[in-house]
């Protein structure tokens, strides 16, 4: 699982470097290289998570969060990917429930959702994937349903064991570390919940995960009315002299936040941007730059706006 994507990264990286390569081929190879990178990152992340869970050092950070909002976040994350694969992605919320909060760890819960949805996408050639939840007694029961190959009842428990890789109807093993469902099960335990599967071969599968329902009386999350028009967009200044690093940070921010981004390629330019834009909320500052480095620029910026956060970004 590590060697295969590495081969793809190295091999297609060398092909892309060829000067005589047609643009269409270059784009195709870039997609493959990107997929190999993502696969490698996911594999390493899974091994790190499994290591933390096995050694008991993964921590739960409970907080109040809006239940509907984290379900919608999964829709935002996966809808476009499913569309490209000709799979419908559906979000199902209880009709009789307004948005409400519960006390748990939303980050760990979403990690489970991602493992289950990733699996659903792998095993669904066409049809639909759905995510939703119901309130059952004192638990929230989330479910993720697909119209994929399905799982034989004899495998209901086995698939949650370490390094178990599910096969398709033609016995082909689907790529993956075989840790996603194991990690999901261990996280469910950490959250004082449970996880299980119900499935029918050639019809599809539904994975359920429960977490305790812990609400505050009359608690109403501000995020129930959340929308792009009432969120204040942060104004971020990126100070970076390396074009590749600047491009990367720009894309990461745009993919994860609604933000207005300003750019500067050295400390002197950064100072001018700060003077021109009092609306700036935060600065990401490279330390090693020509003309004026990040250290000196930060000292001067603090004399202009002493409360603006400046975060050092360095390769060292």
In tens, the pLDDT along 160-187 reads 988 776 655 544 444 445 788 999 999 9
The predicted pLDDT at position 229 comes to 46
pLDDT of 227 > 70? The answer is no
Mean pLDDT, rounded, for 258-276:
92
pLDDT of 246 > 90? The answer is no
Q: Beta strand pairing status for 63-66 and 235-239?
A: unpaired
pLDDT of 215 > 60? The answer is yes
Q: Residue ranges per domain, the chain?
A: 3-55, 63-223, 232-313
CA distance 175 to 40: 11
Q: In whole numbers, what is the pLDDT of the chain averaged over residues?
A: 83
Q: How many CB atoms lie within 10 A of CB 206?
A: 16
Q: Which residue has the higher pLDDT, 257 or 188?
A: 188
The predicted pLDDT at position 72 comes to 87
The predicted pLDDT at position 218 comes to 35
The predicted pLDDT at position 20 comes to 78
Q: Which residue has the higher pLDDT, 61 or 14?
A: 61
CA proximity to 93, closest of 120, 75, 113: 75
CA distance 46 to 35: 16
Q: Beta strand pairing status for 101-104 and 63-66?
A: antiparallel
Per-residue pLDDT tens digits for 10-55? 788 888 887 777 888 888 888 888 878 877 777 788 788 888 888 7
The predicted pLDDT at position 221 comes to 44
Class assignment of domain 63-223?
Answer: alpha beta
pLDDT of 223 > 70? The answer is no
Mean pLDDT, rounded, for 192-217:
89
Q: The domain at 232-313 falls in which architecture?
A: 3-Layer(aba) Sandwich (3.40)
The predicted pLDDT at position 232 comes to 62
The predicted pLDDT at position 224 comes to 47
pLDDT of 308 > 60? The answer is yes
- Identity of the highest mean pLDDT range in 79-88, 147-156, 184-193: 184-193
pLDDT of 219 > 70? The answer is no
pLDDT of 278 > 80? The answer is yes
Core vs surface per residue 152-188: b (16+ CB within 10 A) or e: eeeeeeebbeeebebeeeeeeeeebbbbbbbbbbbbb
Place of tokens 């021109």: 276
């Amino acid at each position: 699982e590590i060697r295969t994507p590495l081969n793809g990264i190295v091999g297609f990286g060398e092909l892309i470097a060829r000067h005589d390569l047609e643009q269409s081929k270059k784009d195709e190879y870039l997609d493959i290289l990107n997929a190999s990178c993502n696969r490698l990152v996911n594999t390493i992340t899974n091994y790190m998570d499994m290591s933390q869970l096995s050694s008991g050092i993964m921590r739960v950070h409970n907080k109040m969060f809006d239940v509907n909002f984290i379900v919608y976040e999964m829709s935002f994350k996966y809808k476009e990917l499913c569309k490209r694969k000709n799979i419908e992605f559906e979000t199902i919320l209880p009709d009789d429930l307004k948005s409400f909060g519960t006390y748990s760890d939303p980050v760990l819960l979403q990690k489970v959702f991602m493992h289950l949805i990733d699996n659903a996408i792998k095993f669904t050639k066409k049809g639909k994937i759905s995510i939703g939840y119901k309130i059952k007694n004192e638990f929230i029961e989330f479910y993720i349903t697909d119209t994929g190959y399905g799982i034989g009842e004899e495998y209901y428990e086995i698939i949650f064991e370490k390094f178990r890789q599910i096969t398709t109807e033609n016995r082909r093993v689907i790529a993956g570390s075989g840790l996603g469902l194991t990690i999901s099960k261990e996280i469910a335990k950490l959250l004082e919940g449970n996880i299980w599967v119900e499935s029918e071969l050639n019809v599809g599968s539904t994975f359920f995960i429960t977490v305790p329902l812990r609400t505050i009386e009359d608690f109403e999350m501000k995020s129930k009315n959340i929308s792009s028009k009432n969120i204040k967009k942060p104004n971020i200044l990126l100070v970076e002299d390396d074009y590749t690093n600047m491009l990367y940070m720009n894309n990461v921010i745009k993919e994860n936040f609604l933000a207005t981004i300003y750019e500067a390629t050295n400390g002197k330019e950064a100072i001018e941007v700060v003077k021109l834009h009092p609306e700036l909320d935060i600065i990401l500052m490279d330390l090693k730059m020509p003309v004026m480095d990040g250290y000196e620029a930060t000292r001067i910026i603090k004399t202009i706006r002493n409360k603006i956060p400046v975060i050092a970004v360095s390769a060292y």
